[in-house]
Amino acid sequence: MLREVPAVLAIALVVALLLKTFLVQVFVIPSGSMEQTIQIGDRVLVDKLTPWFGSEPGRGDVVVFKDPGGWLESDHKSSSDGPVVRATKKVFSAVGLLPSDNEQDLIKRVIGVPGDTVECCDDRGRLTVNGTAVDEPYIAAGNVPSRQPFKVTVPADRLWVMGDHRDISADSRYHMENPGGGTIPMGNVIGRAVVIAWPIGRVRQLDVPSSLSSLPVRAAGVPAGGRVVAGAGPVGSGGGTETPGGNPVPPEPPVVMGVLGVIPLVVRPRSVRVLGVRSVG
């Protein structure tokens, strides 16, 4: 028994690490920026496997991505844990059994892919992609596609992302003054959210809306730092970004923390608080 238990534990940790790194991971949602599609407290299962085979995010996909810089609050509470507890948490975080204290992940819906021109709003108040008005049934009740007019051409290897709860989502519109004009690097995408895995009553697949997936593909010939303009006027000349006419309120705190994907599917998780973010203990 004394010889077998450590071996079993070691194998379990290795399997957990492989699952977290290459296959699937569950992320816990403490923010309302994706309501009503994903609600506060939902656990979403994220596919991390297909990107290893060259799969890239498409329009309409809900993706989890690393903060490209300046999107999240930077305040971190100091830990009162002793050295042994800190070391144990570090090991468990590495294999996905606990959330990491320095996770900086977000979740949003891809609206524009490289080469797309995304604009809001047309004369009927709709968002358009490459001049085609998009039906957005996933937007939270009472929201409009955007209260902030904008027009952006997505540069190569980047994505334009927006939350479904547009009135409170500090998404690409909110960061148009940042490098990249509010777009995020394709390489920052961790994976595509495919299923709401918990609570049981909300288990369902996260489908891609046909209004976005059916749009024709446009060649991505826009250089990095491509043209971004806030407001309803024509796209200006040259690179760079003009100041947005308004920002979503309030700005978002860190919205997603990652944990091992298989645990919430086996046993009922217990919520704890880590850095003000709900996660799995």
What pLDDT is attached to residue 37? Answer: 94
Choose among 87, 41, 66, 36: nearest CA to 279.
41
Residue 42 confidence class, pLDDT cut points 50, 70, 90 = very high
Distance linking the first and last C-alpha atoms of the chain: 27
What pLDDT is attached to residue 30? Answer: 81
DSSP 182-247: T-EEGGGEEEEEEEEEESGGG-EE-PPPHHHHTSPP----PPTT--EEESSSPPPSSS-BPPPS--
Which residues have CB under 8 Å from 67's CB, separation 6+?
104, 105, 106, 188, 254
Residue 4 confidence class, pLDDT cut points 50, 70, 90 = confident
266 pLDDT more than 80: no
Print burial letters for 168-200: b (CB count within 10 Å at least 16), e (below 16).
bbbbbbbbbebebbbbbbbebbbbbbbbbbbee
Pairing verdict, β 257-260 and 158-162? unpaired
Question: 244-253: per-residue pLDDT in tens?
Answer: 444 554 556 5
DSSP 105-152: EEEEEEEE-TT-EEEE--TTS-EEETTEE---TTSPTT--S-SS-EEE
What pLDDT is attached to residue 267? Answer: 34
- The per-residue pLDDT of the chain, averaged, comes to 74
DSSP 49-113: SGGGGT----TT-EEEEE--SSSS----PPP---HHHHHHHHHHHHTTSS--TT--EEEEEEEE-
Better-predicted residue by pLDDT, 182 or 50: 182
Q: Taking a C-beta distance cutoff of 8 angstroms, is the pair 177, 153 a contact?
A: no
79 pLDDT more than 70: no
Q: What is the DSSP letter of 165?
A: S
Residue 109 confidence class, pLDDT cut points 50, 70, 90 = very high
Active site residues: 33, 108
- If DSSP codes are grouped into helix, strand and coil, which group holds residue 263? helix
**In this structure, what are the phi and psi dihedrals at residue 43, rounded to the nearest 5 degrees?**
-105, 125
Residue 209 confidence class, pLDDT cut points 50, 70, 90 = very high
Q: Taking a C-beta distance cutoff of 8 angstroms, is the pair 189, 54 a contact?
A: no
**In this structure, what are the phi and psi dihedrals at residue 53, rounded to the nearest 5 degrees?**
-105, 20
Q: What is the DSSP letter of 23?
A: I
